[in-house]
């Protein structure tokens, strides 16, 4: 199975893209204070899922799943 076939990864990628679209419409102060943090957290969900997917051991995969959940 490819990473792109994992449904939760696709959902996380979509969430990250939506966060970017929303934040880019904000004024500078909102982008600089809350927007950057929100976009980084949204992007790290998919990043952690893909990092865990590439690991050989199940426990490592699960740990990255916890990281992704924390970013969510």
pLDDT value of position 56: 84
Domain count, the chain: 1
Tell me the pLDDT of the chain (72 aa) as tens digits. Answer: 788 788 999 999 999 999 999 999 999 999 999 999 999 999 999 999 999 988 889 899 999 999 999 999
Q: Domain limits at 61?
A: 3-71
pLDDT value of position 55: 87
| CA proximity to 40, closest of 50, 31, 28, 51 | 31
pLDDT value of position 59: 93
pLDDT value of position 43: 96
DSSP per residue over 5-42, as a string? Answer: G-HHHHHHHHHHHHHHHHHHTS-HHHIIIIIHHHHHHH
pTM of structure? 0.84
């Amino acid at each position: 199975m490819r990473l792109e076939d994992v449904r939760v990864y696709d959902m996380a990628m979509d969430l990250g893209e939506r966060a970017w679209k929303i934040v880019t419409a904000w004024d500078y102060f909102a982008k600089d204070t809350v927007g950057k943090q929100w976009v980084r957290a949204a992007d790290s969900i998919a990043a952690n899922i893909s990092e865990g997917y590439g690991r050989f051991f199940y426990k490592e995969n699960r740990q990255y799943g916890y990281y992704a959940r924390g970013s969510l």
